[in-house]
Homo-oligomer: A and B are copies of this chain.
Amino acid sequence: MKNLKRVEIVTGTLEAPKVVAILEENKVSGYTMIKNVLGSGEKGFQDGEGLHNAFQNTYIIVACSTDEFDQLKEPLRKLLAKAGGVCLVSDAQWLLH
């Protein structure tokens, strides 16, 4: 088992590629992505009722080391400040294989 940070990001589906870009720029190649996610926040409801991605969120989970997260931190903050969304960070253990 190895300790690491569990970073989860929710933002508009159209913004998600930007999140992935940030991950790749920082050589974080491992992430999980769930599309067609709904929700509510400062920008009001994302209820998926519009017939377009713009009305849906994407949920991204990244398990990475503390150092990797420290690199992601700033660019993620900037992106979410502009695009809206949330980024939660918690501690987790990786079952190595």
Using a CB–CB cutoff of 8 Å, the interface residues on chain A facing chain B are 1, 6, 8, 10, 20, 29-42, 57, 59, 61, 63, 73, 76-78, 80-81, 86-97
Closest 10 CB pairs of A and B: A81-B97, A87-B95, A32-B39, A90-B92, A33-B38, A88-B92, A80-B97, A89-B93, A30-B41, A10-B32
CB <8 Å contact, B38 and A38: no
Q: Is the interface of A mostly helix, strand, loop or mixed?
A: strand
Q: Report how far A29 CA is from B89 CA in the complex, Å.
A: 20
Selected from B29, B36, B38, the residue in CB contact (under 8 A) with A40 is B29
Selected from B1, B29, B59, the residue in CB contact (under 8 A) with A32 is B59
